[in-house]
Amino acid sequence: MKFLDQCKIYLRSGDGGAGAVSFHREKFIEFGGPDGGDGGRGGHVIVEAVPNLNTLIDFRYTQHFKAPKGGHGMGKNRTGAGAPDLVIKMPVGTEVLDEDKETVLVDLTEPGQRAILCKGGDGGFGNQHYKTSTNQAPRRGDPGWPGEERWVWLRLKLIADAGLVGLPNAGKSTMLAATSRARPKIADYPFTTLHPQLGVVATDGSEFVLADIPGLIEGASEGAGLGTRFLGHVERCGVLIHLVDGTSDDVARDYRTVREELAVYGGGLAEKKELVALNKIDALDEAEIQSKARKLARASGGKVFRVSGAAGKGVKELMRAAFAEVKARRAAEAEAKAAKKAEMENVEIVGAEAEDAEARDIDE
């Protein structure tokens, strides 16, 4: 399956059905009167997040989506059938943006989440709706209201707890393969990874999702290399694992290059919690490891993990530290959700008490 994380599609909701112009005709009933029914509502266009998708490749072959029209009204006061809604299934983590590619219409972050992007048109009134004491035989039936249409951009941001960043050939794919059952392509040339990869890392009886994105080079924010297109996939991560190639001549420069590209990209990546790791220590002697770790610590201003994805050295300690950050973020998010839920419940209770007080005032 090919990986596609960005595309543009056309959406149109269904038009409402037309109202009917009809008169009741029955033997021995001299003045039957109007009995034209109203038209049915057109179908909505709804997007839904489903957990078993991880790419937008389906939208490469189908770009136009149109909901059905509502049924027309009929005689005998029969209302036209409402059209079924058009539900478009998308991967969890998909952002739906307006045509300007900046305004976020909906962010599908949880399985089962739904949103209406285009509302179906209302049905038109039939002539029975216009019957009055002074107009007992109206011959007016309205057409249905037109549906909405729009072009939208879809941008997929993979849901991951932690993300691997670094220069090309820093060993990110090897680290992902060493810590999970993911099998990314691994080779000894730059830009082996051409699209993001996900893996589930098991540590201390728990699991978290680790994302590997294509490497960044100097000038990536201006389109050099593969650019910063795939950085969106680590925007949702709670922690970034920054791998630096230990065999490089200047590890401090490599670290600063990636940090500058993250800062230019924005999206809060430069402010995220970061774990810095000196990778490929199996190819260095002890003196080189000590020297380069000190240089990297001065450049990053924090602790430097010494690891080797190929040899498995220091990997468990790095993953434990990453999971500790992921666990703290999960706890903070759960606490925020609980606080928001309690606030909503308090609002409902206050509203109910106000209604009861108003009802008592009226009784008195």
pLDDT tens-digit series, residues 99-111: 998 899 999 988 9
In DSSP terms, 163 is beta-bridged to 211, 240
- CATH number of the CATH domain containing 221: 3.40.50.300
On whether residue 133 sits in a domain, the answer given is yes
Model confidence at 227, pLDDT cuts 50, 70, 90, reads low
Q: What is the pLDDT of residue 198?
A: 83
Q: Are residues 123 and 169 in the same domain?
A: no
Q: From the annotation, which residues make up the binding site?
A: 166-173, 191-195, 212-215, 279-282, 308-310
Beta strands in the chain (DSSP E): 6-12, 45-50, 64-66, 86-91, 94-97, 104-108, 114-118, 149-156, 162-165, 197-203, 206-212, 239-245, 273-279, 304-306
Q: Give how many domains the chain has, as a whole number.
A: 2
pLDDT at 195 over 90: no
Q: Are residues 152 and 168 in the same domain?
A: no
pLDDT mean over 255-284: 88
On whether residue 347 sits in a domain, the answer given is no
Q: Are residues 43 and 118 in the same domain?
A: yes
Q: Are residues 167 and 288 in the same domain?
A: yes
Q: Are residues 305 and 178 in the same domain?
A: yes
Q: Are residues 229 and 308 in the same domain?
A: yes
Q: What single string gives the DSSP state of each residue in 139-202? A: ---PPPPP--EEEEEEEE----SEEEE-STTSSHHHHHHHHSS------SSTT---S-EEEEEE
Tens of pLDDT, residue by residue over 42-101, are 999 999 999 888 788 889 889 999 999 999 999 999 999 999 999 999 999 899 999 998
Q: Are residues 125 and 50 in the same domain?
A: yes
Q: From the annotation, which residues make up the binding site for GTP?
A: 166-173, 191-195, 212-215, 279-282, 308-310
Q: From the annotation, which residues make up the binding site for Mg(2+)?
A: 173, 193
pLDDT mean over 151-172: 88
Q: What percent of the chain has pLDDT over 90?
A: 42
Q: What is the pLDDT of residue 65?
A: 96
pLDDT mean over 265-288: 88
- And the tokens for 240? 């970034």
On whether residue 205 sits in a domain, the answer given is yes
On whether residue 61 sits in a domain, the answer given is yes
Show which of 156, 184, 199 is a domain's final residue: 156
Tens of pLDDT, residue by residue over 197-212, are 888 888 888 888 888 8
Show which of 156, 179, 213 is a domain's final residue: 156
Of 16-25, 33-42, 254-263, the one with minimum mean pLDDT is 254-263
Q: Which tops the pLDDT comparison, 124 or 157?
A: 124
On whether residue 307 sits in a domain, the answer given is yes
Model confidence at 328, pLDDT cuts 50, 70, 90, reads confident
Query: How far apart are the C-alpha atoms of 282 and 247, rounded to whole Å?
Result: 10
Q: Are residues 138 and 225 in the same domain?
A: no
- CATH number of the CATH domain containing 151: 2.70.210.12
Q: Are residues 152 and 198 in the same domain?
A: no
pLDDT at 325 over 60: yes
Q: Are residues 25 and 98 in the same domain?
A: yes
pTM: 0.76
On whether residue 342 sits in a domain, the answer given is no
Q: What is the pLDDT of residue 1?
A: 47
Q: Are residues 218 and 99 in the same domain?
A: no
Q: Are residues 126 and 184 in the same domain?
A: no
Query: How far apart are the C-alpha atoms of 277 and 147, rounded to whole Å?
Result: 54
Domain that holds residue 281: 162-326
On whether residue 210 sits in a domain, the answer given is yes
Q: What is the pLDDT of residue 43?
A: 96
pLDDT at 152 over 90: yes
Return the amino acid letter for 363. D
Model confidence at 352, pLDDT cuts 50, 70, 90, reads low
On whether residue 340 sits in a domain, the answer given is no
Tens of pLDDT, residue by residue over 6-20, are 899 999 999 999 999
Show which of 96, 125, 156 is a domain's final residue: 156
User: For the chain, what is the mean pLDDT?
Assistant: 87
pLDDT at 351 over 70: no
